[in-house]
Amino acid sequence: MFEENLFNMRKIQLLITMVFESKHPKIQIPQEGIYQYMTSNPEKIPDNKVIYIDGITGKTITYGEFKHESKKFAAGLQDKLEFKRGKVTTANPKYRATELSYQLTDSGASVLIVHPEFLETAIEASIEAKIPSSRVLLFGDEEIKGYKPYRSVLIGDREIEPVSYTPEEARTTTAYLPYSSGTTGKQKGVELTHTNINVNLAQLIGSNCGLGPHSIFMGLLPFFHIYALTCILHGTLIHGATTIILPCFNVETFCEAIQKYRINQIHAVPPIILKLVNDPVVQNFDISSVNLILSAAAPLSDELEKKFNEMYKVPILQAYGLTETSPILHYPDTKNINNSVPGSIGYLLPNVKAKILSESGDELGYNEPGEMWVHGPNVMKGYLNNKEATNAVFDKDGFFNTGDIACVDEQGNFFIVDRKKELIKYKGFQVAPAELEAVLLTHDAVSDTAVIGYYSEEEATELPIAYVTVKHGYEQSQALAKEIQSFVGGKVAPHKKLRGGILFINKIPKSDSGKILRRLLREKLKNEKMN
């Protein structure tokens, strides 16, 4: 009996201290700045190799041209705008002026380069952020309303060598500042260092991703998003690959590009997969060159994955990550696709470890779902000027709280079960309920509100939907619902629109402390949808 009790005690102790390690061997962490690592050319590609192609116009950029043009751009920033060492913040071009101005102000941006299509928003936002009009520059070659193309202002003959970083400087210096929505509704600047970005690419190489100069990527995802920034833009350079760039998704253009350029790998999000399954025009093109589609940024249902594979005989594997992790944490075994486990997000990348915690904070074992915390050199430095938010997501051992519910099997395959945090994922974009609720409460008819997300099988993504209580004197009607929905749509970026609609409710369920009980609303909505 004593021996049996001792065994059980040891078993319990083992579970309490269980940390999952990567199956891959550890890699050496890059010690230099991003530019130096990106141009280290491990694949020994020649300068005349085409690396970026405009899928619409056919315009190309070679590896050599990239290096020369980027050094001229850097010289122009230094000579014309007196730039010194700093960081880059990337913004959603579809932001409203108030959203963009907040990011410009919070990040301390001093120059804004914008596509002409979004110039009016940029002008309004730059005025609010106190950025002089001379520092608002355009992509393209045309001057518009006195705003000049960045090439005419910055690009000359002089080239400069980028600043070099010591290993410690690379580890601590913020390189990119993408913004991620918090559950408070305020966007937070995610400080990603040179080492964070470099090591994430090195981790992908160390996970036997199978990419190289033979790889031809589809460059469709928005480049301001960390998914595309790391995996496509930077991935092209480090792997010596070629990327075909498209400005937006159109099924026919998408398939035409695959057929013309023999694209063999595609980074996608679930709504793209859904459109390819539902649109018969795909059958008119030869997409047989594609040997793998990697889906990330939002969960992909097993049914949609299976249906696409059956229709086109193209395997789809899922990866997983967050803006705060540069972004990839888990990556599938692309060299053994036939052995992949359906629904899995793959293995932990090299040098990454994870623990799964119960609601009470105990560490769980295999096949036990719980909140996933991760630790690795690709995890962010922190949130810009927000120590409180940073401290809230790291524990005393430096593990970062992903906010997702996950489990892992004995072979090291991870699965995302649910999302603990309240953020809504619309086509890979984060939508904070609190931000939409704040907008809703400014409508004259709204007395209280709660926003939740529900998964739409038709669109293969979550849609934001609002429960609303109306003030005395207003009638709950379809007309009022559409008016409120339109009101919000006019004040937020497109991905934040209440595409799920407005539902009226007599009282928003809340806890004694005043916290919205979204779980009850999700259950209510689910029952209503079933009936």
pLDDT digits (tens, 9 = 90+) for 301-312: 787 888 898 999
Distance CA 176, CA 109 (A): 12
pLDDT at 180: 85
C-alpha distances out from residue 136 to 70, 122, 224, Å? 19, 8, 18
Phi-psi region of 319 (alpha: psi -120 to 50; beta: other; left: phi over 0): beta
Q: % helix / strand / coil in the chain, to the nearest 5?
A: 35, 25, 40
Could you count the other beta carbons within 10 Å of the beta carbon of residue 483? 14
Longest dimension (CA), the chain: 86
pLDDT at 512: 61
458 Cβ partners below 8 Å, 6+ apart? none
pLDDT at 420: 72
pLDDT at 25: 96
pLDDT at 9: 46
Is the bond preceding 25 in cis, omega lying within 30 degrees of 0? no
Residues constituting the chain: 531
pLDDT at 14: 45
> Six-digit token pair at 187?
């966007």
pLDDT at 54: 98
* Cβ atoms of 250 and 276 closer than 8 Å: no
Mean of per-residue pLDDT scores for the chain: 92
One-letter identity of residue 324: E
One-letter identity of residue 322: L
219 Cβ partners below 8 Å, 6+ apart? 52, 55, 228, 232, 233, 236, 243, 244, 245, 246
Q: What is the DSSP string of 93-131?
A: TT--HHHHHHHHHHHT---EEE-GGGHHHHHHHHHHTT-
Three-state secondary structure readout of 458-503: CCCEEEEEEEEEECCCCCCCHHHHHHHHHHHHCCCCHHHCCCCCEE
* 353-357 long-range Cβ contacts below 8 angstroms, 24+ apart: 353/19, 353/20, 353/21, 353/22, 354/19, 354/20, 354/329, 354/406, 354/408, 354/414, 355/18, 355/19, 355/20, 355/399, 356/18, 356/20, 356/406, 356/407, 356/408
For the chain, which ranges sit under pLDDT 50?
A: 2-3, 6-7, 9-16, 182-184
C-alpha distances out from residue 259 to 140, 256, 262, Å? 28, 5, 5
Sketch out the chain's domains with CATH numbers.
34-49+167-419 (3.40.50.12780), 424-530 (3.30.300.30)
Give the closest residue to 436 by CA, choosing from 99, 61, 71.
99
> Six-digit token pair at 69?
């043009």
**Helical (H) or strand (E) element with 239:** helix 235-239
pLDDT at 3: 47
pTM score, whole prediction:
0.85
Distance CA 508, CA 278 (A): 37
pLDDT at 519: 86
Distance CA 433, CA 351 (A): 34
Q: What are residue 188's phi and psi, to 5 degrees?
A: -120, 135
pLDDT at 517: 87
pLDDT at 146: 97
> Six-digit token pair at 484?
């409120």
* Cβ atoms of 464 and 498 closer than 8 Å: yes
Q: What are residue 350's phi and psi, to 5 degrees?
A: -55, 145
* Cβ atoms of 298 and 270 closer than 8 Å: yes
> Six-digit token pair at 243?
């990327």
Could you count the other beta carbons within 10 Å of the beta carbon of residue 521? 21
Helix/strand number for the chain, H first, E second: 17, 26
453-471 per-residue burial string, b: 16 or more CB within 10 A, e: under 16 = beebeeebbbbbbbbbbbe
Distance CA 348, CA 408 (A): 10
